[in-house]
Every structure is written in structure tokens, then in C-alpha cells.
Amino acid sequence: MSKAREKLITARRIVIKVGTSTLAHAESGKLNLYRIEHLVREIADLHNAGKEIIFVTSGAIATGLNKLGMKKKPEGIPEKQALAAIGQGILMHIYEKFFAEYGQTIGQILLTKENAADDHARENSHNSLRAILDMGAIPVINENDAVAVDEIKIGDNDNLSAIVANMINADVLIILSDIDGLYDGNPKVDKNAKLIDEVPIIDEETERIAGGAGTKLGTGGMLTKIQAAKSATANGVTMLIINGATIGNIRRALNGENIGTIFPCMD
């Protein structure tokens, strides 16, 4: 077990980010309730074990699409904001239901770039997160897509999760992806692509092999995860990319098992 993975075992404050590709069925685009329930159960059990969990979730726009029976995400900003407004409440209701079944209380926080860039707003956001954790609840965070414009949008929840991890001085950031981690090629087209176990330094080559776009429902891809890793590790947060579709992967990772790709924090 590497030194970086040994540190995961003692991690106490953990940010977990889940993307739309993990939350939704690939074919229909509708929410994968089986996967969501197992994810919630795993987070709830980690909380019971004494971990502080901050949960960053995507999925509001996709949930709004499903509610209205739309198949394709619109291009216009007002339309996307409307879908986010519709979907956010539905998504939170689902989380509230599942977390309550496992005896957990959640608190919703919606953030924009302003909350991280301005010192006063950043302090307020930190204090709010800290208060929710101190009350024994689990913060559930998303970008405020319903009102944010391009100038104040973070743009993807990978980078949002890094901002949150830095803001709250997390020990580790776990990003749940639709693949096992960072490969040295595209595993969807290259059968010989190999999973990279550890990335001690993020350089131009790392960014090159990360590639580009995510799914038709999501806004991120592997490149945004590398950007998040660069930000998190520079601020003392270890980051890990693991497959969110495999039940139990979060616990396995926090037990130090050799899964996913780890980006050790800078000492």
C-alpha cells in the first residue's frame, strides 16, 4: 500500500462528488434509483463511523429534463436555468427520502464562483458548511445553476468539488466517475489502455491524456477532473477518482485498497 493510500484510512473530512453520468441510466437518462440508494447508504454509514461527509452532486438539469419529458439538453441559458430550478427540488426530495431512511439529516447549499472568489462570501460559505457539519448533518452541494450566469458560474461540479474541498480543509476529495480512473489512453476505444494507479505530479502530459468531453447529460469529462486535482492537491487535499457504478467502492478506497487513480496532496 502506498503512503498516499495509507493516508486515506485515517481521513476524517471527506468530500464526495457524484456526476450525472453516475446518477442516471445511460440509455434513458432517467435517475438510477438503485445506484443512488446504495450511494446514500454508503455515505450514511461512513457518517455513522464518525467521518465528516460533504456531498457534491450534479443532476439537477438532467432531473428537470426527465420531469418534462425532454430528451436533449437545450443550448439556451434561460432554458437550462429553468430545468435546473425544476430539477433541483426533485433531486433534493429524492436525497432527503433516502438519507432519512438511514437516519441522516441533510442540508442543501447552492454555490457560485462568487462564493469562492470574494473573501467575505467565502468565509460565510465556510461558516455555513462548518455549522451544518457541527450539527451532525450532511451538506449536499450543487452549483446554483438556476440563477448563475456565465460570469459567476464555476461551470462543472468537478471544479466545484475542489473549491469546496479547499474551502472546508478536507482531507480527501473523492470524485465518482463512469470509468475506473485516469487511463493512459481512452479505454472506451483503446483496449490496451492501462489504468494509472497514482499521479504524483500533474503536468502537460497528464492533461493531454485526460482528453475532453463528458456525456450528453453531463458537463464534465476527465480533463475537468484533472483541473480539480491540480487545485485540490495544491491546497493540501488528496484526490481520488474511482468508478461510481461499483457498489462499495468508496469504502474500499478509504480502506486503502488499490482502486482508481490517486493524486497525492503536496506536502
Domain ranges of the chain: 3-263
Q: What is the pTM of this model?
A: 0.92
CA separation for the pair 142, 123 (Å, rounded): 18
Q: What is the pLDDT of residues 185-243, one digit of tens each?
A: 877 788 888 999 999 999 888 888 887 544 443 434 788 999 999 999 999 999 999 99
Q: Is 51 helix (H, G, I), strand (E, B) or coil?
A: coil
Residue 187's alpha-carbon distances to 127, 193, 195, 197, 217, in angstroms, are: 41, 5, 9, 15, 20
Topology given in CATH for the domain delimited by 3-263: Carbamate kinase (3.40.1160)
pLDDT for 216 = 42
- For the record, the C-alpha cell of 193 comes out as 489502455
pLDDT for 150 = 54
pLDDT for 180 = 93
**Stretches in the chain below the pLDDT threshold 50:** 151-152, 213-220
| Helix locations, 103-151, DSSP H | 114-117, 119-134
The pairing of strands 13-18 and 52-57 is parallel
Residue 78's alpha-carbon distances to 34, 147, 238, in angstroms, are: 31, 9, 36
pLDDT for 8 = 96
Give the largest Cα separation in the chain, rounded: 49
pLDDT for 230 = 95
pLDDT for 213 = 43
Determine which helix (DSSP H) or strand (DSSP E) holds 88, and give its type and residue range.
helix 77-101
Residues 82, 60 contacting (CB under 8 angstroms): no
> How many CB atoms are closer than 10 A to CB 246?
15
- Give which of 168, 177, 181 is closest to 235, Cα–Cα: 168
- For the record, the C-alpha cell of 13 comes out as 473530512
pLDDT for 146 = 58
Residue 45's alpha-carbon distances to 9, 53, 171, in angstroms, are: 15, 10, 18
DSSP 69: T
Residue type, 184: D
Distance of alpha carbon 67 from its chain centroid, rounded? 23
pLDDT for 151 = 43
Distance of alpha carbon 4 from its chain centroid, rounded? 20
**Ramachandran quadrant class, 155 (left: phi over 0; alpha: psi -120 to 50; beta: rest):** left
Residue whose C-alpha cell reads 439537477 in the numeric block: 60
Residue 180's alpha-carbon distances to 55, 196, 217, 245, in angstroms, are: 20, 10, 19, 9
